[in-house]
Amino acid sequence: MADKYPDLKSAKLADAAIHRGPGGETHQVAAADAPALTSRQGIPISDNQNSLKIGRRGPTLMEDFLFREKIFHFDHERIPERVVHARGFGAHGFFETYESLSDITAADIFQRAGERTPAFVRFSTVAGNKGSADLARDVRGFAVKLYTKEGNWDIVGNNIPVFFIQDAIKFPDLIHAAKQEPDRGFPQAQTAHDNFWDFISLMPESINMALWIMSDRTIPRSFRFMEGFGVHTFRLINAEGKSTYVKFHWKPKLGMQSVVWNEAVKVNGADPDFHRRDLWDAIQAGDYPEWELGLQLFDDAFADEFEFDILDATKIIPEERVPIRRVGRLVLDRTVDNFFAETEQVAFHTANIVPGIDFTNDPLLQGRNFSYLDTQLKRLGTTNFTDLPINAPKCPFHSFTQDGHMAFNNPRGRVNYEPNSWGTGPRETPKGFRSFPAEDTGEKRRARGELFADHYSQARQFYVSQSETEQTHIKDAFVFELSKVETPQIRARVVSHLVNVDKTLAQLVADGLGMKLPAAAEPARKPITDLPPSPALSIIKNAPGSFKGRKLGILVSDGADAKLLAALEAAAKQHGAMVELIAPKVGGFTASDGKLRPAKQKVNGGPSVLYDAVAVLLSEDGALQLQQEATARDFVADAFAHAKFIATSKEAAPLLEKAGVEPDGGVMSLGGAKDAERFLELCTQLRFWEREPKVHAV
């Protein structure tokens, strides 16, 4: 033992985990019961700090198989990232069925009220690379894997119910145009560039989606506060073989909420992982996010009378036309154990459906069903990706697939085919999946249905359904994005499409760009201009009326009123909100009661963009100190500019004045602890939108 570890004073340390330094020195770094470090082949490793050499300073030997295995695996740690939806974050949970739906579907998951089905959900952005920021203006993926008793069912959707294109053959063009321009490799995770808007301006079918992506839907406050949609029309099939059309909706229990654009830009700088951290923190705190699964159910009679084709993925069916039936809840209650093994290796596929669910002829869906397997093979390197724990069914499964890279679930014995005369192995079952026997006839053509040609009517309906505040945000988003487009002709083409949507919107965008209003683009089909507004399409009109699940940031200093702080914390807790304290030093502050309190953030690391509402509780000395601090002034000024509710102690007035804040109906002075509940009640409105036109007059 002394020869092996010459500098150890006690042989008892030999059973502990040992760290060997560059000079040969050794240190005990773990308890004596630590497991032995081994190679991937299970071979115990005696020295994980030094490669095998000739002498202390000699060349490394090729025979060092332990180094070879370690560096080989490291060199291949990164699998190809997803072409789209590369930046994602996932969590585990369950789906609970509210009632039996046996009358409309034979899907086992919907047969028994109260039954819980394991689930995994991955949220993502579409255009950005894996290392991009969370709050880019982008569609959010909302993919749900349900591990049912009859196999895995994937609802691979987005937080927007429509899409850019009608036929999957255009998908490569769309994504090529949206991602970095190939000659320069930028811009990253944004569509404010020539290629994207050139594509949109030449593809009128994208105009409805363009209105959606310029809305607040693409800058959500949190994954927890956004809707999800299956996008396509599917079928539900009952035990008798009857078909009912269905569109899938996920409705957040906490309601919808977005940020404003200036806020999004600053959040990305302050915390690029804002959405990831928000979901992680909520689950870790036991504040489990929930969504309800809603179904829009309709039949052929409705499909025939609808103004648009139900197979067109660029269209919705307004909730006012077909109400949403809520049939269950999705709860996320567990974070992943390993991000790579679960969130990165999870493989979703639109064609993963179970008996009782079926497809329609939506050409975008049909193309997705074909494409996804190729994607998984490229990314995960083997057709056996279905055997990875995150992808494997949780019900019994049996097949005759075999071999391939990384095969570890192969048939045993001589039987690897079916039918066989050996009397072993799985067989077909009458309860197995059956496709709906839809009858389709017609010429073999590259074409689309006539109703697919209306590209503007629902875009107009979406726009007129928004509140005045949201309409302004849409206008501002168009102006911002198109101001980054260098080619005037592209800007003009986009605005010419907007003329067909809403002439006032088009004029406002043209004015914002400093250009003349162009003539309307020639429509392929005359737009319907009298579709009624759909209030369900507005975020602000459907505000939750609650501050539950939100976060209150309290800027404090030494001498801050302890009773006032305690009252705010108690009121926030009563409303189901979280509280974070921001102080000049993260080590904490001494409140007026003489007690030292720790802070969550230092003032220059906890800007107000991270919070849904803020309070400023300062002593007189604290206010004098912080009014000299630029980030403290920004804390208040940004909260005011972003239309947030602000509570202040009277001592904080000098900081507000220095930050240029003029108190209004959204700024509340706290006279005492009794005012805390009044302030939290005010916060249930989420934003003081009346302020926004005054602070953004341009």
Cite the active site residues. Answer: 85, 158
Residue 232 vs residues 161, 166, 327, 447, 535: alpha-carbon distances, Å: 8, 11, 19, 19, 21
Query: Are 147 and 395 a contacting pair, CB within 8 Å?
Result: yes
* Burial class of residue 515 (count of CB atoms within 10 Å of its CB; 0-12, 13-18, 19+): middle
Backbone angles phi, psi at 343, to 5 degrees: -65, -40
If you ran DSSP here, which 8-state letter would residue 398 be given?
-
Q: How many CB atoms lie within 10 A of CB 11?
A: 11
Nearest to 177 by CA among 204, 206, 201, 197: 197
Query: Are 252 and 229 a contacting pair, CB within 8 Å?
Result: no
Query: Are 56 and 67 a contacting pair, CB within 8 Å?
Result: no
What amino acid is encoded at 660 in this protein?
G
- How far is residue 308's CA from residue 317's CA, in Å, rounded to a whole number? 9
Tell me the DSSP string of 115-156: -EEEEEEEEEESSS-TTS-TTSS--EEEEEEEEETTEEEEEE
Query: Are 342 and 348 a contacting pair, CB within 8 Å?
Result: no
Nearest to 651 by CA among 554, 557, 583, 553: 557
Query: Are 264 and 219 a contacting pair, CB within 8 Å?
Result: yes
Nearest to 241 by CA among 404, 133, 84, 355: 355
How remote is the C-alpha of 277 from its chain's centroid?
Answer: 12
Residue 341 vs residues 165, 381, 390, 426, 595: alpha-carbon distances, Å: 32, 14, 7, 30, 45
3-state secondary structure 651-683: HHHHHHHHCCCCCCCCEEECCCCCHHHHHHHHH
> Edge-to-edge, what's the strand order for the sheet holding 551-556?
601-602, 578-583, 551-556, 613-617, 646-648, 667-669
- How far is residue 462's CA from residue 458's CA, in Å, rounded to a whole number? 6
- How far is residue 126's CA from residue 123's CA, in Å, rounded to a whole number? 10
Q: Quick one: the chain helix, strand, coil %, rounded to 5?
A: 35, 15, 50
Tokens of 8: 């150890």
Instruction: Tell me the three state secondary structure of residue 228.
Output: strand
3-state secondary structure 448-485: CCHHHHCCCHHHHHHHHCCCHHHHHHHHHHHHHHHHCC
- How far is residue 157's CA from residue 230's CA, in Å, rounded to a whole number? 4
What amino acid is encoded at 521 in this protein?
A
Q: Work out the widest C-alpha separation in the chain, in whole angstroms.
A: 91
